[in-house]
Structure 1
């Protein structure tokens, strides 16, 4: 193993030492920011309909993860779909900006101009993504890409092998995904109200959230609490 990778592994081991299972995703996101030329990182699980954010290094990273989930588009979803790293090196111009124009504008509005998405999983099965956010255009060097893939490999190991309960018996993974349960509850309510299928219901939920400058999670909470109805969409 190269010296650079050994040092990166040492940093990872130090940060996750003595951490409870529920703390691992956010801690590994923080490690990614230490090891790479990025200002934020988030980790999301792949699921039907919407990715589920499990952790982030900062509110900025959490915001961009939720933005992609709300839009149903972005490097995160594409990497999850194809199972290989997606390096959007310049969201201000060229191919990457045109591929995800709405997300690119939202990212640039908060000072992020490049995104690198690393798929989590193996043997052709993608369980989620590690998403890295940079405040200037540019790619990753070979060493930086190796470090990003190393963090992604450790994140994969954590998500697939960590006990599902903390020492106190609390189901940490289920707890982290609780908010997203409201999305599926809201989808069911919209399906019943409008007589449409799940895909169309999610599309309408996302469209209303985008039109109002809100996240899909926030809109779903409004539907479930009966403060929002999507009849007029």
Structure 2
């Protein structure tokens, strides 16, 4: 990609984020992605302890696909974060991709998502999250599009790092730059803690129990966590949450 093209990417990102408050920036970055790449949806997540933390999404479908990965603990996003490498699922209905992530592939295609391109945010040894691109049609990004996607991921990483280091914020921002989508996932960690205390299990087992229960009930982990924290449900009828 030429220096001029890189400047063009930077200009689109700058225009989209101009005037945005700290918590609005992640969403604006996803909006910029749709203007820069031939994709139908985009989402960003931060690498977390045992699971990614959803940060922003271009729309409801992209947000739901991202939540599916969190709930399943499997998918292109997980692989990209774990390896620090780009992961391409060119056709989720093909045997190759469907066999890699069978449940994710089935649920994503049911929503009309046919291909996913997941890029790490940051270097291989210091991956801070992923940028996930969704398309309604099968096929890989063209060479020039893939190069643009890498440049976009690099610039988004820089924007997030600067955002996390900026401050101090206004009192209305509560000292935080994290989006509402990210802070909502605090309930998942609270629910994990409650299950750990109730059952006397380690954090990874508690998270696995939450995922299994959510899958059995056709819910996302976040939806189940909200109920557990609100004392409306437990993982077992005998658990007095």
TM-score range, shorter chain: over 0.9
User: Structure 1 CA distance, aligned partners of 2:144 and 2:229?
Assistant: 46
Residue 48 of structure 1 pairs with residue 49 of structure 2: yes
In structure 2, relative to structure 1, the CA distance for the partners of 1:34 and 1:40 (3 Å cut) is: same
Cα offset for 1:175?
Answer: 5.6
**Within 5 A, what are the aligned runs for 1:121-132?**
121-122=122-123, 124-132=125-133
Cα offset for 1:21?
Answer: 2.1
When the two chains are superposed, the root-mean-square deviation of aligned CA atoms in Å is 1.8
Give the one of 204, 210, 214 matched to 2:209: 204
**Within 5 A, what are the aligned runs for 1:2-13?**
2=2, 3-13=4-14
Give the equivalent residue in structure 1 for 2:195.
190
**Within 5 A, what are the aligned runs for 1:1-233?**
2=2, 3-122=4-123, 124-162=125-163, 163=166, 166-168=169-171, 170=173, 171-174=175-178, 176=180, 177-231=182-236
Task: Specify every segment of 5 or more residues in structure 2 that has no aligned partner in the other structure, as ranges.
Answer: none
TM-score, length of structure 2 as denominator length = 0.90
Task: Specify every segment of 5 or more residues in structure 1 that has no aligned partner in the other structure, as ranges.
Answer: none
Matched residues, number: 233
What's the CA shift string for 1:70-89, capped at 9, x where partnerless? 00000001100000111111
Cα offset for 1:169?
Answer: 5.4
Moved more, 1-10 or 145-154: 1-10
What's the CA shift string for 1:1-44, capped at 9, x where partnerless? 52544433332222222222222211111111122121100000
Cα offset for 1:180?
Answer: 1.4
In structure 2, relative to structure 1, the CA distance for the partners of 1:166 and 1:154 (3 Å cut) is: farther
What's the CA shift string for 1:91-112, capped at 9, x where partnerless? 0112111100100011101100
TM-score, length of structure 1 as denominator length = 0.93
In structure 2, relative to structure 1, the CA distance for the partners of 1:164 and 1:96 (3 Å cut) is: farther
